[in-house]
Amino acid sequence: KGVINIVTGDGAVGEMIVQAQVDKIAFTGSTAVGRRIREATAGRGLGLTLELGGKSPYIVFDDADIDSAVEGLVDAIWFNQGQVCCAGSRLLVQEGMAERFYAKLRARMDGLRIGDPLDKCIDVGAIVDPVQLATITGMVADNPEGTHYRAPCALPAKGAFYPPTLITGLSPASPLMQEEIFGPVLVAMTFRTPAEAVELANNTRYGLAATLWTENINLALDVAPKLAAGVVWVNATNLFDAAAPFGGVRESGFGREGGWAGLSAYTRPRGTPRALRPTLPFDGNGAPEAALDRTAKLYIGGKQARPDGGYSRPVHGPRGALLGHASLANRKDIRNAVEAANAARGWARTTGHNRAQILFYIAENLSARAAEFASRINDLQGGKGGAAEVEACIRRLFTWAAWADKLDGRATGVPLRGVALAMREPVGTIAILCPDEAPLLGLVSTVAPAIALGNRVVAVASDPFPLAATDFYQVLDTSDLPAGVVNILTGSHAELGPVLAAHLDIDAVWSFSSAHLSEIIEKRSAGNLKRTWVNNGLARDWAGPEGEGAAFRDAATEVKTVWIPYGE
């Protein structure tokens, strides 16, 4: 008894569940409610899976089987009256055959029957609630652009019914193309080339599902990885199975249900977590150790850059000696770093072998200067652990270089004549607040897995000991790393962390900094529902197995499921 407990109720009951002493929450619903749940659970260390709204594209190329594509579209948008998160509500048709496709679609709409959904002869039932019916009616009435076609079917006199509607000739920026209607309204526009189709499909803040119709398997497998969606159906729609992960990206949520990716979200690492002890900078007013006073700059877009504010702070050793000055980055430096990272999107398209060779090269160049970095770490922290930390950094780089071309997806067994590919793709631009206690190893252990798996990084170096990271710039400069793939800032985590978490062009934030930042970052991330990975005030052994492994691989990748039926 007690293993499964079912409670019914409205939103008030849901809010009580969110506030209850639970360890994991999985929610399916609107993006607005998903944001509230993200904010309400911030800093509590809960596992969270959000499967939220969508504006899924339904792309039809000119070589598609038109009749099959029309039937698939009827299922995609008018299944459950379009009140489905993954409904194919944005139709993108190749220009040369658009009018022919629209004509067949209108003819099919003319035959749809509306009425009691419990009647098996009915195609389209009632809207779930009169409030939602008013929302749908208002959205369509407030946006009269385009050509509106309503199925000429009789609506029942009683009930919340809305006719199946097709709206063509819209612009990409139209509210009807951008906002989730959550009803039986299909909006459409045309494209000319596959590249334009991808651009239009990704022109949304959502990213739950997408559908492709083409008889060219090469075209399908070229376009599918380029779509910002958690699930892509090829020549089919609304295919689901417990073995195939399902979930979204962007404001369609994060996490997966189904498959190994879904199961892993309900597990946690073994062992007893340890509380993170604060690491504070040393005070001092001693003379500079070096004859020449140096101010370390920021590393943005493959070159060193002065901070926008022009400020820096002194960095002292354990005996009070002045070791140098570190720049203090601000929100404008974050803007520049994020722009540089997003300009380096081509890094995700490089082969894993190429990324591995660059990581090996970074390790080789770090090894050549091992004594210098070890001395710097000893000066920053005291003691004699610098050599061991540098050696651990080199091993860590070799580890992730080895993983760069070996992280495989899987072909899941599904009950149809076809295959569902669970592909591992990079998250995008990841902001990382590096751990304070390991000035170089913490930087390498977090940045290396991210870039090995195709991401770009905006890293904030150790708050009390930033100079080890600034010395690392020259290693990156001499290791063939493309500009913008790694960007390193120095400054206060407390000031930079919230700005990074709220930035709308960042796809994920990792924080291994102080405990109080975990809650702030998770709450601020609700703006665009970016993924977060925070320490919640728990320590990690960066020199041991905790400093690498499956947790880093999972955090640095998204699972995209591509369904590919085959056969004549």
Q: Check: pTM over 0.85? Answer yes or no.
A: yes
Q: Which residues pair with 412 in a beta bridge?
A: 420
Alpha carbon distance 87, 136 (integer Å): 15
Q: Give, rounded to a whole angstrom, the gap between the first and last alpha carbons of the chain.
A: 50
Domains and CATH numbers, the chain: 57-262 (3.40.309.10), 298-408+424-557 (3.40.605.10)
Let me know: does 515 contact 250? Beta carbons within 8 Å.
no
Cβ within 8 Å of residue 545, ≥6 positions away: none
Residue tagged 């969110």 (tokens): 18
Which residue intervals of 20-65 are DSSP H helices? Answer: 31-40
Alpha carbon distance 439, 405 (integer Å): 28
Q: 50 — alpha (psi -120 to 50), left (phi > 0) or beta?
A: beta
pLDDT at 535: 94
Strands 557-565, 209-213: pairing kind = unpaired
Burial bucket for residue 7 (CB in 10 Å: 0-12, 13-18, 19+): exposed
312, 326, 313, 315: which is closest to 286 by C-alpha?
315
pLDDT at 268: 86
Let me know: does 466 contact 490? Beta carbons within 8 Å.
yes
DSSP 224: G
Q: What is the pLDDT along the chain (568 residues), one digit of tens a residue?
A: 889 989 888 778 888 888 888 899 999 988 999 999 999 999 998 899 999 999 999 999 999 999 999 999 999 999 988 899 999 999 999 999 999 999 999 999 999 999 998 888 899 999 999 999 999 999 999 998 999 999 998 889 899 999 999 999 999 999 999 999 999 999 999 999 999 999 999 999 999 999 999 999 999 999 999 999 999 999 999 999 999 999 999 999 999 999 999 999 999 888 788 888 988 889 887 667 666 677 899 999 999 999 999 999 999 999 888 999 999 999 999 999 999 999 999 999 999 999 999 999 999 999 999 999 999 999 999 888 999 999 999 999 999 999 999 998 899 889 989 999 999 999 999 999 999 999 999 999 999 999 999 999 999 999 999 999 999 999 999 999 999 999 999 999 999 999 999 999 999 999 999 888 999 999 999 999 999 999 999 999 999 999 998 999 999 999 999 999 988 7
Strand segments (E) across 290-444: 295-296, 298-300, 303-305, 312-316, 322-327, 410-412, 418-426, 429-433
Tokens of 134: 């008013």
pLDDT at 154: 86
Residues that are catalytic: 51, 85
Cβ within 8 Å of residue 328, ≥6 positions away: 307, 309, 311, 312, 313, 490, 491, 492
Residue tagged 């990581």 (tokens): 359
pLDDT at 153: 87
Let me know: does 298 contact 469? Beta carbons within 8 Å.
no
